[in-house]
């Protein structure tokens, strides 16, 4: 037997041994056994970093499209429901370019309706890693209810794709309009679907609802879709459309 043939035989024997004793090391076999594969098996961190960089480079800073729009990125500060800074590197609000252009047109309509009023963005693209922290922080709430406030990171959110935006309106003095409930307010008074009920009890005023309706009017003009449970949140498309069209930002990029 030649040295080359002997070498091939050794490789075959080693391969057979691994196929029997090493099955448990593959992600597929772990899933079949009902076990979770280790992170290293399922995520190529180098690939994730590269894909994250490609995605973030394909997004646009909202204010580069329309500088009238203002930004107060809440998760880059401690002024949020978790009272901690969640974004270490994100400083600006980024969206898919086509989404940012639509948002700019929403601002144009607002300017025509209310001169000197402007949109104020609280959040735009959001990494899945941050979404996970938010989801975990609300673990005392059943998943079915939690999903009304923070999307399950396993399902991915349009925020993770740069196709959703959280925002409000600033008046001519630069003061946010009174919406009757703050940003990230988990109470039902923040639910647009329940506005009539809270108006009837006097907990919301006609002016507060009018302010919300103004925001919805300018956003709907560009086919942004409001949520029934958050007055500040608007989707650029359905989740299925987003998954088919856009990539997901898994982690922050420096």
At 201-219, the pLDDT tens digits run 999 999 999 999 999 999 9
- CATH no., domain 44-245: 3.30.1380.10
- Tens of pLDDT, residue by residue over 115-131, are 999 999 999 999 999 99
In the block, residue with structure tokens 């499209």: 65
Q: Dump the DSSP string for 182-243.
A: -TT--SGGG-GGGHHHHHHHTSS-HHHHHHHHHHHHHHHTTT-EE-SS-TTEEESS-HHHHH
Q: Of the given ranges (36-50, 74-88, 115-129, 168-182), which has the lowest mean pLDDT?
A: 36-50
* pLDDT tens per residue, range 109-118: 999 999 999 9
Average pLDDT, the chain: 83
pLDDT tops 70 at residue 51: no
């Amino acid at each position: 037997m030649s040295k080359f043939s002997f070498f091939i035989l050794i490789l075959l024997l080693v391969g057979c041994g691994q196929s029997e004793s090493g099955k448990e090391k593959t992600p597929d076999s772990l899933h079949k056994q009902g076990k979770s594969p280790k992170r290293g098996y399922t995520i190529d961190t180098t690939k994730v970093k590269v894909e994250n960089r490609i995605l973030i480079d394909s997004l646009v800073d909202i204010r580069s499209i329309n500088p009238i729009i203002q930004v107060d990125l809440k998760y880059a500060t401690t002024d949020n429901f978790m009272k901690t800074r969640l974004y270490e590197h994100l400083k600006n609000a980024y969206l898919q370019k086509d989404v940012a252009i639509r948002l700019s047109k929403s601002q144009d309509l607002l300017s025509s309706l209310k001169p000197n009023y402007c949109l104020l963005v609280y959040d735009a693209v959001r990494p899945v890693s941050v979404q996970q922290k938010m989801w975990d922080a609300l673990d005392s709430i059943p998943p079915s209810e939690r999903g009304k406030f923070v999307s399950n990171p396993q399902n991915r959110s349009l925020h993770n794709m740069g196709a959703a935006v959280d925002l409000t309106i600033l008046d001519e003095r630069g003061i946010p309009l009174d919406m009757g409930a703050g940003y990230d307010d988990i109470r039902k008074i923040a639910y647009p679907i329940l506005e009539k009920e809270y108006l009837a009890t006097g907990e919301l005023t006609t002016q507060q609802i009018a302010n919300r309706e103004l925001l919805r009017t300018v956003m709907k003009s560009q086919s942004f879709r409001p949520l029934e449970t958050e007055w500040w949140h608007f989707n650029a498309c359905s989740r299925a459309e987003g998954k088919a069209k856009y990539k997901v930002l898994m982690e922050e990029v420096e």
